[in-house]
Amino acid sequence: MTYDVLSLARGLIRCPSVTPEDAGAQVFLAEMLTALGFSCYSLPFEDVPNLFARYGSGGKHLCFAGHTDVVPTGPERKWTHPPFGANIHDGILYGRGAADMKGAVAAFAAAAAAFIERKKQFGGSISLLITGDEEGPAVNGTVRVLEWMKENGHVPDVALVGEPTNPDYLGQEIKIGRRGSLCGTLRVAGKQGHVAYQHLAHNPLPPLIKMLDALNDYVFDKGSAYFPQTNLEITTIDVGNPAGNVIPAEGSASFNIRFNDRWTSETLSQKIIEILDKTKHPYELDLSCGAESFITRPGDWSSLVQRAVQDITGKKPEYTTNGGTSDARFIVNFCPVVEFGALNHTIHQIDEHVAIKDLEDLTRIYERLLMLYF
């Protein structure tokens, strides 16, 4: 039994599964996988739908990980085509999730179907770990499913995450890791007063600006073997002062640091405090880690994925670690994991789309990977 990747992708996109709603997307996928001979397990945790499906019960185990939840559409009136219409125009499939990442989920499902049709007895196992929580808090999704997989004997030998990894063309990049993410909120207290009587007040903004300058100017590192340099971005400065003749009582600012494998969230937090303490101004600081940096160092698995991509596209993809984080950060604790999927230049945007040819080539890449691995 074979499946057309375009039909699968359109079926998934037509399910308005804005996180954490599923809107039938995982049911649609499970029905198709069950017909192929997969054992499917619905794994809801709290309000998050998750799906684990496995074909085969022994031998080498390759897991494809992805998500069916999508971000909100934004103003639907600004879309050229309805965001959940899965419309096709000039060889392009439009819709929320087309690139991130229902297209890749459809491509792997179609590839698995084609592979099983060609090679029913391959002595191994293929599975899909599909969550509805990747675009959300990522608390009741992949993390919880991995725990269930471990408890029930489903830990894979290798994993592939179908996140959109290519900036310009299919076959450009394979993600072998991702930077960590540390968020901070800095507050400086002052004393409110009239600007004409500054001696009776205390303006918190000059020391706040001095602290932000210290953070912004600090060079944390110059990168590492597989990572770009650690980068801090100030994301907001807030005073809450509507009056032009009032010295505010408090100023606050938020920042985010994307950090490489030279740091952990703990060592980076210590460095932030050290930098701020040198300014010799009182402050309050809240830090929270969204993700640690991680890497699957180049080896047999990444080389195999690279070969599959090159066999189909004729291009040798580069190993990179840039971009945002992904659920691969959880999977790396269980097995080697890399990411390869569609183009990412329209993800989360109005008129998100994917070229149909790219979907078809991505399916061929995934099928080639299955052939090489097994």
pLDDT at 182 > cutoff 90: yes
pLDDT at 2 > cutoff 80: no
| Residues 6 or more apart whose Cβ sits within 8 Å of residue 108 | 64, 66, 128, 160, 162, 363, 366
Does one domain contain both 23 and 114?
yes
**Whole-angstrom distance, CA of residue 119 vs CA of residue 111:** 12
Average pLDDT over residues 221-231: 95
Nearest to 53 by CA among 40, 67, 34: 40
CATH label of the domain that carries residue 269: 3.30.70.360
Nearest to 326 by CA among 22, 47, 65, 43: 65
Domain boundary among 291, 313, 346: 291
Omega before 20 cis (within 30°)?
Answer: yes
Q: What's the confidence (pLDDT) of residue 120?
A: 82
Q: What's the confidence (pLDDT) of residue 1?
A: 62
Q: What percent of the chain has pLDDT over 70?
A: 99
Does one domain contain both 54 and 191?
no
Does one domain contain both 145 and 225?
no
Residue 223 lies in domain: 180-291
Domain boundary among 239, 259, 291: 291
pLDDT at 16 > cutoff 70: yes
Which pLDDT band, with edges at 50, 70 and 90, does 260 fall under? very high
Which pLDDT band, with edges at 50, 70 and 90, does 324 fall under? confident
Does one domain contain both 167 and 185?
no
Does one domain contain both 37 and 126?
yes
**Active-site residue (options: 22, 69, 250, 352):** 69
Domain count, the chain: 2
Domain boundary among 224, 259, 291: 291
**Whole-angstrom distance, CA of residue 327 vs CA of residue 134:** 7
Does one domain contain both 172 and 231?
no
Which pLDDT band, with edges at 50, 70 and 90, does 195 fall under? very high
Phi, psi (5° rounding) for residue 275?
A: -65, -45
Does one domain contain both 152 and 187?
no
**Active-site residue (options: 22, 100, 134, 367):** 134
Summarised one tens digit per residue, pLDDT across range 233-254 is: 999 999 988 898 999 999 999 9
Which pLDDT band, with edges at 50, 70 and 90, does 37 fall under? very high
Find out whether 86 and 6 touch, Cβ atoms under 8 Å: no
Summarised one tens digit per residue, pLDDT across range 138-160 is: 999 999 999 999 999 999 999 99
- 69 tagged catalytic: yes
**Whole-angstrom distance, CA of residue 26 vs CA of residue 196:** 63
Does one domain contain both 33 and 161?
yes
Q: What's the confidence (pLDDT) of residue 323?
A: 87
Residue 185: count of CB within 10 angstroms of its CB: 16
CATH label of the domain that carries residue 103: 3.40.630.10
Does one domain contain both 33 and 157?
yes
Does one domain contain both 187 and 162?
no
- 134 tagged catalytic: yes
- Give me the chain's average pLDDT, please: 96
Does one domain contain both 43 and 17?
yes
- The pTM assigned to this predicted structure is 0.91
Does one domain contain both 136 and 40?
yes
Summarised one tens digit per residue, pLDDT across range 63-86 is: 999 999 999 999 999 999 999 999
